[in-house]
Structure 1
Amino acid sequence: MHNNSHFQPFWFSEALKKESDNTVTSLKHDIQTDVCIVGGGYTGLWTAIELKKQQPNLDIVIIDKGLCGSGASGRNGGCMLTWSTKYSSMKKLYGEEEAVKLVQASERAVYEIADFCKENNIDADLRLNGTLYTATNKAQQGAMNGVLEQLSKHEVNSWQEWQHDKVQQEAGSKLHCEGFYSPAAASVQPALLARGLKRVAENMGIKIYENTPMENISTEIPISITTPEGDIFTKKVVLALNAWMLEQFPQFKRNVVLVSSDMAITQPIPEKLNDMGLKDGKTVIDSRIFVHYYRSTSEGRLMLGKGGNYFSYGNKISKVFDSPSRYSKLLRRSFNKLFPKLEEEKFAATWTGASDRSTTGLPFFGQLDGNKDIVYGLGYSGNGVAQTWIGGQILSSLVLEQKNEWSQSGLVSGPKGSFPPEPIRWCGAMMVRNAIRRKECAEDNGKSPLWLDKQLAKFANAAGKADKA
């Protein structure tokens, strides 16, 4: 049976309610396999599905320490966005040609996932209604101009500027003073997508063991993975653990920072949303460093999230990530400011997700300590719902040792850059976070931020926005 006794984030508990068969299979004995994937979220599932598509005879096992999708995959904001707004930082890291390719790949991912859901009857409330990037104060205006110019130069610009009135109308809020729309984006019920991928993977013959944590990995040949009740002997391993990677592989401890993204959702209020202009599933994201993001669901709920709140000391996955949000007051303030007409609407639920923010704001992939039989990917930085599809392409290519655009992508370079050690890192993160809050508060009130706050905020800006989780 599913273990429902502990806290489950809203999307995930909704998804489990819809499953007719809720038996959970855990590993109880030793097994042998060709490929063992550790982590049953989006990255692990897409990798398994891609491997099976290419080599149907491959024996593939996925293990997850909880239920598939119970980590970041089942609790994010469900905003399927692309990397187009990160073009400038990708160009710096990987060069122009590769940056253009990654923008195109990330847009293709959105449509590939939508098609996959249709073909496989995954009802994940996926709505291909695009995204609207807005400014909610004067200081944010013009934030998109530079990157759009560069995208246009390479003919990969899917964005168009909308008239002021249209932005406010379609975003359902008078707070927006500028907006750019791209059709290459969607919203999705993230846990239904994860559980749907699990079902498809099992139907393809992939074996999935839930409530089966990896306790140890021995890199001798054959590689063996120890779980509480059975060992797995395998030729290849894919580590798709995301934020949980840091608990077992300290070598990545300084390459990512665990930071919370906090979300709240209303009861269904379809008529009110309709009257406000929120008529479809487009996602709306503002231009602050710690972004606000929101979207409606097809049953008429409104979900609002905000990035960059709780920074984990020493990258520990703490209880904070598995309970209602401790920032509900902050969420409420933002919600009331954006939607004054909905002040009376209570939140049906709040929750938190751990986002593994890399130094570049982009994920990185590679071989563990140079061992070609053990590959990994992490660091989606809160922008992974569509990008994990790319992760699946990259990791499956690495497992099959193919030389192709995926295995030779700029992202396959291991971690780029590192954060300072503790306690400097945490103190620094707090200083920067609080400076950003003061700066954005001043800007919201039409005032000029303090010089020091602006300088400190640049540290976060260098890695791009603290995206959705």
Structure 2
Amino acid sequence: MTQQARKALSGVTMKPFWLDRPDAPDTRFPLETATQCDLLIVGGGFTGLWAGIQAKEQNPDLDVVLIEAGRVAHGASGRPGGVVSTSVMHGLSNAARIFPKDIDELERLGHENMHGFLDTITRHGIDCHAEWGGELTVAVDPDHVPALSDEHRLHLEHGHDSTLLDTDGVRAQINSPRYFGGIWSKNISGTVHPALLAWGLKRAAIELGVRLYENTRLKRVVDNGATLIVETSIGARIKASKVLLATNAFAEGDRRIKRRVVAVRDRVLATEPLSDAQMQSIGWQNRQGVYDTRTQMNYMRLTKDNRIIFGGRLAYAYGGEISPSVDQELDTYEPLAGAFFSTFPQLDGLRFSHAWSGPIDLTTRMAVHFQRYHGGKAVYAGGYSGFGVSASRFGARIGLDILNGSRQPESHLEFATSMPTVVPPEPFRWLGAEITMYALDTADEKGGWRRPWLNMVTKLGFPLS
């Protein structure tokens, strides 16, 4: 398998496929002079962009400034699989796990969020290659099928248009020898091109009047009583009445954010475009976004030009480093390439065009939460733990409402008023992550001590098994 993987990775571009486009928008100039505003948004990823748009649409007279440390979409937002869903809590089963009393309301809010998502991209003419084939969760072991049946019942209880597939049914959707069952959820879910979405949101925010500055990194936040003074790395000072910290895995804005947010990385591959014969060999006519049930989960989706985006295999670097050098080494991607060819042996000979990693803001909740600082004048909204392309719109909306005094009833629910548990500091964080990632990589194949370890980590708050 290693030789096959190495051949497929030969000549690969070490850059996110989504960002490798000649039509990327020009970079906005940095903020170089002092300014003031009603609302400062720190972070030009999905949460920050959605926040800027919603804030201006709610109140066109509001003076909104958004600063981004690098370039819009070049952090986490230009790197994910790009599957969008009605869930705002990392999936229905995760929502039921963490907030069982509020599950009905969270489901309603999730559907409302996706309708708002659709409305925004339609009104602002954002062509993000959206396809609405739904989501498909697939069992990679016959022993996983009963859990899928339980998950399907949960979907039906909450009114989802969801179909339970047996082995023949799931392989009729996607022809893989690894799949033994599946759940096909069809409620306004599917896939988007994440970079095109982010760039479209950037354009929409600017057109609405958001003052957006790139290459403007936050240095520190100083509480000035009635206002906050934000200092940037190039010496500019911003006086703001309120600050939304949309920094997610980067956790900038207050050192205490990282007590609850762990920055892990996800590896992703993009294939060359499949030929008509190759597409016929795998089926996938409904073009769903796909997640599997293996312990170290893989996910995949198709692009507009029929490439397969195939991701998975979490990793952690000491101190939560976002872009360690190991993620630029081809060997890092060989296990992921091996998993791809185990999934689609009929695609032997297909090459990968791009390989990259992307940061994920992991918490014990595995879903968005909100941290309040400086007497409520600053709010951190993040911790999506993946699955944030559409949930980030919801996180931005709730974060803005909390800054405005929690006027909406949903901002008083448990998900908005509580926080995930604290994660141990270094070096215990790194040691625990190393053992856990190794267990995730090898549990399905070797078992042994790995299952009890993953069960223990699950009991501590991370639902890994």
Report if the CA contact (8 A) 1:33-1:235 is conserved. yes
Residue of structure 2 aligned with 1:317, choices 300, 314, 322: 322
Aligned-residue offset at 1:376:
1.2
Report if the CA contact (8 A) 1:397-1:407 is conserved. yes
Query: SS of the counterpart of 2:367?
Result: coil
| Residue aligning to 1:167 | 170
Give yes or no for the alignment of 1:250 onto 2:255: yes
Query: SS of the counterpart of 1:403?
Result: coil
Distance 1:42 1:172 in 2: 33
Report if the CA contact (8 A) 1:63-1:208 is conserved. yes
| Residue aligning to 2:455 | 458
State the AA in 1 paired with 2:311.
G
Deviations 1:115-141 (A, max 9, x none): 321221111111111011010112322
Give yes or no for the alignment of 1:72 onto 2:76: yes
Give yes or no for the alignment of 1:12 onto 2:19: yes
| Residue aligning to 1:394 | 398
Give yes or no for the alignment of 1:290 onto 2:296: yes
**TM-score computed with the length of structure 1 as normaliser:** 0.89
Residue of structure 2 aligned with 1:55, choices 55, 59, 62: 59
**TM-score computed with the length of structure 2 as normaliser:** 0.90
Aligned-residue offset at 1:298:
1.4
State the AA in 1 paired with 2:350.
E
Distance 1:321 1:252 in 2: 26
Give yes or no for the alignment of 1:114 onto 2:121: no
Report if the CA contact (8 A) 1:33-1:234 is conserved. yes
Return closer, same or farther for 1:8/1:60 CA change in 2, 3 Å cut-off: farther
State the AA in 2 paired with 1:240.
A
Within-5 A mapping of 1:261-410: 261-271=266-276, 272-308=278-314, 310-320=315-325, 323=328, 327-368=332-373, 371-410=375-414
Give yes or no for the alignment of 1:35 onto 2:42: no
Within-5 A mapping of 1:416-431: 416-431=420-435
Aligned residues: 447
Distance 2:104 2:275 in 1: 39
Distance 1:213 1:325 in 2: 31
Query: SS of the counterpart of 1:288?
Result: coil
Distance 1:320 1:270 in 2: 34
Deviations 1:248-303 (A, max 9, x none): 52212231222211100011124122442123431111012321101111111111
Distance 1:299 1:88 in 2: 33
Query: SS of the counterpart of 1:48?
Result: helix
Report if the CA contact (8 A) 2:30-2:213 is conserved. yes
Aligned-residue offset at 1:320:
4.3
| Residue aligning to 1:438 | 442
Aligned-residue offset at 1:466:
6.5
Identity of aligned residues (%): 28
State the AA in 2 paired with 1:278.
W
State the AA in 1 paired with 2:199.
R
Query: SS of the counterpart of 2:414?
Result: coil
Distance 2:133 2:329 in 1: 29
Query: SS of the counterpart of 2:377?
Result: strand
Distance 2:35 2:180 in 1: 59
Deviations 1:340-399 (A, max 9, x none): 121211100100011111012112113225x22111111110121111011121012123
Return closer, same or farther for 1:393/1:216 CA change in 2, 3 Å cut-off: same
Deviations 1:74-115 (A, max 9, x none): 11111113437744543453342x122223323443343233
Within-5 A mapping of 1:105-184: 105-153=109-157, 155-184=158-187
State the AA in 2 paired with 1:74.
G
Deviations 1:411-467 (A, max 9, x none): 22353212222222221222222223222124xxxxxx32x2211121454556669
Aligned-residue offset at 1:144:
2.6
Distance 2:253 2:274 in 1: 44
Return closer, same or farther for 1:12/1:378 CA change in 2, 3 Å cut-off: same
State the AA in 1 paired with 2:372.
Q
Report if the CA contact (8 A) 1:24-1:210 is conserved. yes
Query: SS of the counterpart of 1:74?
Result: coil
